[in-house]
Amino acid sequence: DSISEQQLENIEAVVATATGIDLDRGDLIQVARLPFNKNSILEHQAALEELARQERFMLYVQLAAGLLAALLLLIIILRLRSKKNKELEQLTLEQEEKLVTLEEAEKLLAAQMEAERQAELKLARRKVKTTEEIEREKTRKEVDKYSRENPDEVARLVRAWLAEEQ
């Protein structure tokens, strides 16, 4: 803004030389100190500063959007992983339940096989009859046969036995 006296004299000498002014002839040159209109420069600077501020703001918005997108992606990945882990846990539990069921089935099968073996042993013991059992069965069959062939005779015999007991 301010020009020193030395600078003012230098400007006068430059202008006088450039225009061909001769002080000996009486030509005069006058240099005045006038302030420059700096409004357009200041407006331009303000516009540049506003543009820089907007660019910084857009950069921050882009960074925030990028961080938000990364955070959203991370949340989605974590949820998918959590869901997959829960499904894996559920599958593991179901398999364990099946294993427990398989173990129980094996125990039941073993118990059933043991019961069948015991039943077979009892049946085998019954099949082997003593001579006394064989004689009793033979007598029973003969009595059955006789009662079918001679029902009147059997009825008379039973009445006689009942009469004897009274």
Compute the distance between CA of residue 76 and CA of residue 63 in angstroms, rounded to an integer: 20
Say how many C-beta atoms besides its own lie within 10 A of residue 103's C-beta. Answer: 10
What lies within 8 Å, CB to CB, of 18 at 6+ separation is none
Q: Where do the structural domains in the chain lie, given as residue ranges? A: 1-35, 129-166
Instruction: Give the pLDDT mean for 45-71.
Output: 97
What are 111-153's pLDDT values in tens digits? 989 999 988 888 777 666 778 878 888 998 998 888 889 889 8
Q: Give the pair of three-digit tokens for residue 93.
A: 């539990």
Q: How far apart are the first and last CA of the chain?
A: 160
pLDDT in tens, 78-108: 999 999 999 999 888 888 777 767 777 788 8
Q: Cβ contacts of residue 15 below 8 Å, gap of 6+?
A: 21, 29, 31
Confidence bin at 72 (pLDDT 50/70/90): very high
